[in-house]
Amino acid sequence: MLTNTFMVVMLASLTACAVTTIGIVVISRYQSWAMAKSIYFKSFAAGVLIAVSFLHQVPKSVHMNEVAPAFLLVGFLAIYLSNRFLKLYACQESECPRYVFGLMPMMGIGLHSLIDGVIHAVTFNVSVFTGVLAAVGMVLHEFPEGVVTFVFLKEGGFERRKAILLAFLAAALSTPVGALVAYPFVSRVEKPILGNLLALSAGALVYVGASHLLPEVEKESRRYTLVALVAGMAVAVAIVLTRH
């Protein structure tokens, strides 16, 4: 029975990994079009990340642990301080600020995807039905997650192969890795701890969406970026409703 549960958990997480990878491959093949429309991807991604964080991750984390808001703040500040560190100390070249633009979303999405893998391990151990409900919602956002991670890395100045590799590692592979690492300890993972992890992820994604992406969108002031933002929020609402 233990083996069957493990196989289902890994199947769900590998499916999420595959869907994300498809998104990365598709967008990398249409790179010129993606870069021309990248401002709309940024706006769409901001809508998804902010809405998913506030509508699902924050309420869920608070339900699991009443001190989760403190970890929400820690997650937000951690990404902010990482951004400052990269700009002030790790950057020796003039192009480094561009790299930071790609790395910040990658870090937030990577943490989110890793926790997705943990959630797969936890929910399927509760019941198959609970696991399937959670997996459907998570898989829905994997394709755009792969797309936007690649676009951000390209916008940050990474060459195509490196952007594909980094996007795959952060957005795709991290999900089955999270499931694989968490599964042996899943019986010991208490709800308050998982709630804190969710809050950390939410804080990171709120920073990426609100403090990192939206200012870039506002700089260009392109038409229909508001439509893309609302579309991203609509997708997030659909994800949340599907999970529920």
DSSP string, 17-64: HHHHHHHHHHHHHTHHHHHHTHHHHHHHHHHHHHHHIIIIIHHHHHHH
Instruction: Read off the pLDDT of residues 4-41 as tens digits, 9 standing for 90 and up.
Output: 778 888 898 999 899 889 989 988 888 777 667 778 87
More confident residue, 31 or 65: 65
Residue % of the chain over a pLDDT of 90: 14
Residue 149 has pLDDT above 90, yes or no: no
Q: Are 49 and 205 in contact (CB under 8 A)?
A: yes
- Which residue shows structure tokens 């508001």? 226
pLDDT digits (tens, 9 = 90+) for 189-211: 677 887 887 788 788 778 878 88
Query: Is residue 89 very low, low, confident or very high in pLDDT (cuts 50, 70, 90)?
Result: low
Evaluate whether 240 touches 55 at the Cβ level (below 8 Å).
Answer: yes
When pLDDT is averaged across residues 102-111 and rounded to a whole number, the result is 78
- Spatial separation of the C-alpha atoms in residues 122 and 108, rounded to whole Å: 21
Please tell me the distance from the alpha carbon of residue 10 to that of residue 5, in angstroms, as a whole number.
Answer: 9
List helix spans (H) across the chain. Answer: 2-29, 31-36, 38-52, 58-64, 68-85, 96-126, 128-140, 142-155, 160-167, 174-182, 191-206, 214-220, 225-243
Q: What mean pLDDT comes out for the span 159-163? A: 90
Q: Kindly report the pTM of this predicted structure.
A: 0.65
Look at residue 3 and tell me whether its pLDDT is greater than 80. no
Higher pLDDT among residues 94 and 239, named by residue: 239
118's tokens: 């943990």
pLDDT attached to residue 129? 59
According to the model, what pLDDT value does residue 81 have? 83
165: pLDDT strictly greater than 90: yes
Q: State mean pLDDT over 204-226.
A: 82
pLDDT score for 193: 81
Token pair for 114: 């890793």
What is the distance between the alpha carbons of residues 14 and 175, in angstroms, rounded to a whole number?
8
* 209 and 53 Cβ atoms separated by less than 8 Å: yes
Handedness of CA 85, 88, 89, 95 (dihedral sign): positive
CB 137 within 8 A of CB 240: yes
Q: If pLDDT is split at 50, 70 and 90, which confidence band does 1 have?
A: very low
> Residue 93: left (phi > 0), alpha (psi -120 to 50), or beta?
beta
Count how many residues are written for the chain.
244
Largest CA distance in the chain: 56
Mean pLDDT, the chain, integer: 79
